[in-house]
Amino acid sequence: MAHQQIADLHIRDLCPDDSTAIQQVAALLVDAFGHLESGWQTLADAIAKVEESFGADRISRVAVHTSAQAAQQVVGWVGAIEQYRGHSWELHPLVVHAAWRGQGIGRALVKDLETQVRQRGGTTLYLGTDDEEHRTSLAGVDLYPNLYRQIATIQNLGHHPYEFYQKLGFLIVGVIPDANGWGKPDILMAKRLR
Ligand SMILES: CC(C)(COP(=O)(O)OP(=O)(O)OC[C@H]1O[C@@H](n2cnc3c(N)ncnc32)[C@H](O)[C@@H]1OP(=O)(O)O)[C@@H](O)C(=O)NCCC(=O)NCCS
């Protein structure tokens, strides 16, 4: 699919004093993850999550759309946490507003994050992408027997985002079986940045 360039969209730091943007990011989290056990069900929980992203060992970036009326709307958020003494960073979390998906914003946020991590000397970006809803062939089964074969033959049954990350150059490097309860794994992915 050719992505349209979205005019009036830019990516910038999310700042602790930008309460309007923080509220908008929190609403995105509740909307995208509120139905999951591992997600954020209330706006207050989500705001606390967003505020964690202002630590010194964090990166917190928002995609902002400016409308003709000059109102700013946050349409996506990506965060990262410094790990392994700065060699590697964990991407967490990533969300694009439901009405803005499929237009290249997720890709743009991850590309921007890669640049941010490189600038800080990081060489690896990694993430865990849960499957709590049987959206891949790795859910609802016992992964311990033939683990590597099951990873190699993974199928996307329900538009699970692991394929989004594959398109951006990430590889599946492992799985935590039953991470979220029996048959609900966390799929681990990584990308070399240089
Ligand atoms: C996953 C998510 C961030 C993707 O953002 P997006 O802006 O819709 O993605 P993009 O438009 O940049 O897509 C880039 C490519 O990935 C593909 N893609 C996007 N989501 C996909 C999915 N769930 N499964 C398979 N492919 C996907 C797109 O088709 C596109 O492919 P193309 O380059 O061949 O055309 C977004 O769907 C989202 O916020 N989902 C809910 C929250 C979530 O799951 N976050 C990730 C948790 S680990």
To test ligand 1's pocket by mutation, which of 1, 103, 112, 164 has the most ligand atoms within 8 angstroms of CB?
164
CATH number of 128-194: 3.40.630.30
CB 33 within 8 A of CB 92: no
Closest-lying ligand 1 atom to the alpha carbon of residue 128? 48
Alpha-carbon gap, residue 75 to 62, rounded angstroms: 8
pLDDT for the residue numbered 38 = 85
b/e for 97-130, b at 16 or more Cβ within 10 A? beebeebbbbebbbebbbebbeeeebebbbbbbb
Q: What is the pLDDT of residues 7-17, one digit of tens each?
A: 899 999 999 99
Average pLDDT, the chain: 95
pLDDT for the residue numbered 2 = 38
**What architecture (CATH level 2) is domain 1-122?**
3-Layer(aba) Sandwich (3.40)
pLDDT for the residue numbered 145 = 94
Which of 119, 123, 143, 140 lies closest to 131, judged by CA? 140
Q: How confident is the model at residue 68 (pLDDT cuts 50, 70, 90)?
A: confident
Alpha-carbon gap, residue 18 to 101, rounded angstroms: 24
Identity of the residue numbered 53: S
Which protein residue's CA is at the shortest distance from atom 43 of ligand 1? Answer: 95
pLDDT for the residue numbered 7 = 80
Q: What is the pLDDT of residues 89-142, one digit of tens each?
A: 999 999 999 999 999 999 999 999 999 999 999 999 999 999 999 999 999 999
Residue 3 has pLDDT above 70, yes or no: no
pLDDT for the residue numbered 5 = 62
**Radius of gyration of the CA atoms of the chain, in A:** 17
Q: If you average pLDDT over residues 172-179, what whole number do you get?
A: 98
Within 6 Å (CB) of ligand 1, which residues are found? 1, 32, 94-96, 101-107, 129, 159-161, 163-164, 167
CATH 3.40.630.30, the chain: domain bounds = 1-122, 128-194
Residue 177 has pLDDT above 90, yes or no: yes
